Structure 1
Amino acid sequence: MGRGRVELRRIENKISRQVTFSKRRSGLFKKAQEISVLCDAQVAVIIFSTKGKLFEFSSDSSLDGILERYERQTHTEQLAEANIESQGNLSLEFYKLTTKAKILEKNIRNYGGHDLDILSLRELQNLEQQIDTAMKRIRTRKNQMMNESISEHQKKARALQEQNNILAKKVKEKEKTLTENPQKEKDTQGHNLPSFNVPAQQLQLPTLTLGANLHQARGSEEEEVEAHQTAPRSATIIPPWMSRHLIR
């Protein structure tokens, strides 16, 4: 009789499970070696026992070479799958964007009053409603900007008026100060001149005649010096340059 099919399930007996693990592991490594020799293939087998012990087999001298080749291969396949998936996504996205661009171009032409013959009555009503809504928004925004501009100009006008009032007040105060306290007379160098309280009888001003000769002018100067020396001490002689200010 032929051998029947054995149901694969976990062996509950710990000893039997360990014996079976050793036998099957040896058989697996033997089969891996046979396929690597017969088919000239690179084979690597990695096994961890229930206790975490590592068992490995490699047809090459080192298992690392096969593992690196496996990582490169899987990474390349993942990149290829990702590229295919990304290309599919890009194609779908491109189709969506192209369709959306066509719809927007059609709407722009319709808003400009073009290509209206192909539109139905309902589409024309919707287009009219959209245009009316857009015009209301535009008017609202325009009125808002105009009100903001007017308010800003009014603020500037009030600020200028306040500055004008302040300057006018300062000018009035300055004029009032000048009226109450008149400025004292000053000489050519800007210094205040001293005031003299001298009677007019004591002023002895020399009289010069235009057209007189140099001898008469010298005689007048000598007479003035002599008169100054013989004048009483109580009298005060005012120089000619100072008499002009007193006459004023």
Structure 2
Amino acid sequence: MKKIEKESDMITTFSKRKYGIYKKVNELITLTGSEVGFLVFSPAGKSFTFSQPSFKDLALRYLGRQKKQPQLSPDNGEMFRQARIQELNQTYNMLLELVEEEEKKDVALRQKLKGKQLNNWWNKTVEKVEVGELSDLESAYSELLMKVEKRRMKLVSPRNDMNGCVSTSSSHFLCTLTINASSDG
């Protein structure tokens, strides 16, 4: 086993493993009637607790500041109701965190996908493009054409047979105007 280096993988693994531990701790409490306290800190430093009874009561008892409460009989429905409420609240909070993490992943993937679509705009089938997007494609094409023509100008020695204009394609010409400043005034 080795430490996970990639942060997104680390967060995903932490969430999955944390859920698994919550589940096992809950099973231990349910099956044996144990009192369990579980505290973990995420890689980001956020703390998570799961316990029965409350984490504070367990910590105080561990530190010797509080005596163990006498075990209530299973007939006492309030104890089990409170335990179930705490369990459901913790499960709810954990699921909320998982949803938030999945939403972050969704946003990141959508941005990545959008970037790939923008990078491959020239591969789109024009017949399937909406009107608003056609304008964007036209602008992108014009910008690309200008960049290509500028690069071509740098690479190809200009022919000055057209008063400073250079043919860049069969129907496009780039013209430069040179102004010489004279010192005669």
Normalised by the size of structure 1, how large is the TM-score? 0.25
Higher relative contact order (CA 8 A, sep 6+): 2
Q: Which has the larger radius of gyration?
A: 1
Normalised by the size of structure 2, how large is the TM-score? 0.34
Higher strand share: 2
Higher helix share: 1
